[in-house]
């Protein structure tokens, strides 16, 4: 059964979509079947992967959420073999309002994903920059959450708010939700504050901080306008190499966790 990971941070512009696209692409080149779920009405993961939600068949995750189609109908192949995306556009913002009165409104994404979980090794959900109903749906549907963050002073406050929200979801809706890891993005090694923030995150979260940091890299910011993940745009860039290394960390962490689970079952 595939692992579902929410890529989440309520702060805007911290590298969620860039991380979802490029971790997804890196896992796909490691021969994993990967689905990126664009769960943001901005539709950046959709366009960043070269797709247009308004082109036929025009089915999007919004229609899947409100029961007008299956999630499979909203999924398109990307240029990269093994990487698919469930597309979104601005209509998704309507779901935030329309689902309010629905029964089990927090579990809609979980239930539409369920029939597809065997088809993919990894499902990455690109969340919007808020802790609203869409993000709650994403966390309820996930095995873990991955937090991209920029090394700025206020990032730490946002991070503790996010971790406590995840704790509430774990208590009320999804007891098995884990922290996949914290990923430092747009890292500038010449900036002292960046090192201080990184040290502080490491002190609080230890092993949960990815060893790999994503450097600020102009090629990463150019790739979406070409509708390509960085691996198809500039495979030799520092950004491409960093995301490949993060994907390797994710695969290794999951192999380790599975080994621990297996030995626990034997005891
Ligand atoms: N490592 C990087 N180096 C340089 N630019 C980057 C890097 N990561 C992301 N960017 C750029 O920063 C901007 C914000 O990134 P991105 O869209 O991934 O953030 P986000 O958290 O998904 O934003 P939102 O909250 O609006 O969804 C984009 O223009 C992106 O191209
Ligand atoms: Mg985004």
Q: Is the pTM of this model over 0.75?
A: yes
Cα of 20 vs centre of ligand 2, distance in Å, is 9
**SS3 assignment, position 85:** strand
Q: Averaged over 67-71, what is the pLDDT?
A: 96
Question: Whose CA is closest to atom 8 on ligand 1?
Answer: 15
Q: Considering the chain, what is the average pLDDT of its residues?
A: 95
Is the predicted pLDDT of residue 266 greater than 90, yes or no? no
Q: Are 130 and 78 in contact (CB under 8 A)?
A: no
Q: H/E element holding 263?
A: helix 238-266
**pLDDT per position as a tens digit, 72-95:** 999 999 999 999 999 999 999 999
Cα of 242 vs centre of ligand 2, distance in Å, is 19
pLDDT band at 267 (very low <50, low <70, confident <90, very high): low
Is the predicted pLDDT of residue 256 greater than 90, yes or no? no
Q: In this structure, how many other beta carbons lie within 10 angstroms of the beta carbon of residue 215?
A: 17
DSSP conformational letter for 1? -
pLDDT for the residue 6? 98
**pLDDT per position as a tens digit, 235-250:** 999 999 999 999 999 9
**Of 2, 32, 92, 9, nearest to 244 (Cα)?**
32
Q: Which residues contact 114 (CB under 8 A, 6 or more apart)?
A: none
Q: Which domain holds residue 180?
A: 3-266
Q: Are 154 and 180 in contact (CB under 8 A)?
A: no
**pLDDT per position as a tens digit, 186-233:** 999 999 999 999 999 999 999 999 999 999 999 999 999 999 999 999
Q: Averaged over 4-21, what is the pLDDT?
A: 98
pLDDT for the residue 259? 83
Least confident of 38-52, 215-229, 251-265: 251-265
**pLDDT per position as a tens digit, 115-130:** 999 999 999 999 999 9
Q: Which residues pair with 75 in a beta bridge?
A: 86
Share of the chain above pLDDT 90, in %: 88
Q: Give the span between the Cα atoms of 238 and 241, in whole angstroms.
A: 5
Instruction: Identify the residue whose tokens are 């005891």.
Output: 267
Who has greater pLDDT, 266 or 23?
Answer: 23
Q: Give the span between the Cα atoms of 63 and 86, in whole angstroms.
A: 11
Question: Whose CA is closest to atom 30 on ligand 1?
Answer: 221
Q: Give the span between the Cα atoms of 239 and 113, in whole angstroms.
A: 30
Question: Tell me, what CATH number does 11's domain have?
Answer: 3.40.50.300
Is the predicted pLDDT of residue 173 greater than 70, yes or no? yes
DSSP conformational letter for 123? E
pLDDT for the residue 190? 94
Is the predicted pLDDT of residue 14 greater than 70, yes or no? yes
Q: In this structure, how many other beta carbons lie within 10 angstroms of the beta carbon of residue 235?
A: 13
Q: Give the span between the Cα atoms of 224 and 49, in whole angstroms.
A: 7
Ligand 1, pocket-test mutation among 11, 14, 18, most atoms within 8 A of CB? 18
Which residues, judged by CB distance below 6 Å to any ligand atom, belong to the binding site of ligand 1? 12-18, 40, 42, 44, 129, 185-186, 214, 216-217, 220-221, 224, 239
pLDDT for the residue 64? 97
Is the predicted pLDDT of residue 63 greater than 80, yes or no? yes
Helical H segments across 183-237, by residue range = 192-205, 218-222, 230-233
Is the predicted pLDDT of residue 185 greater than 90, yes or no? yes
Q: Looking at the 3D structure of the chain, how many domains does it have?
A: 1
Cα of 135 vs centre of ligand 1, distance in Å, is 18
Cα of 264 vs centre of ligand 2, distance in Å, is 38
């Amino acid at each position: 059964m595939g692992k579902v990971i929410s890529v989440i941070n309520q702060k805007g512009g911290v590298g969620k979509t860039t991380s979802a696209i490029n971790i997804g692409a890196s896992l796909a080149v490691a021969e994993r079947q990967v689905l990126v779920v664009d769960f943001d009405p901005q539709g950046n993961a959709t366009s960043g992967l070269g797709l247009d939600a308004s082109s036929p068949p025009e089915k999007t995750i919004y229609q899947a959420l409100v029961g007008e189609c299956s999630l499979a109908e909203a999924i398109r192949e990307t240029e990269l073999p093994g990487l698919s995306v469930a597309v979104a556009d601005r209509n998704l913002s309507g779901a935030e309002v329309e689902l309010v009165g629905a029964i089990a409104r927090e579990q809609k994404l979980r239930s539409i994903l369920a029939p597809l979980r065997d088809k993919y090794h990894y499902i990455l959900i690109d969340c919007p920059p808020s802790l609203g109903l869409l993000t709650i749906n994403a966390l309820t549907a996930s095995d873990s959450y991955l937090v991209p963050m920029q090394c700025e002073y206020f990032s730490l406050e946002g991070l503790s708010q996010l971790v406590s929200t995840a704790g509430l979801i774990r208590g009320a809706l999804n007891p098995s939700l884990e922290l996949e890891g914290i990923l430092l993005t747009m890292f500038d090694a010449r900036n002292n504050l960046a090192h201080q923030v990184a040290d502080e995150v490491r002190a609080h979260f230890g092993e949960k901080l990815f060893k790999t940091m994503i450097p600020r890299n102009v090629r990463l910011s150019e790739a979406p306008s070409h509708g390509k993940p960085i691996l198809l745009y500039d495979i030799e860039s520092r950004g491409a190499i960093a995301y490949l290394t993060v994907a390797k960390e994710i695969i290794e962490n999951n192999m380790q966790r599975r080994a621990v689970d297996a030995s626990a079952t034997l005891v």
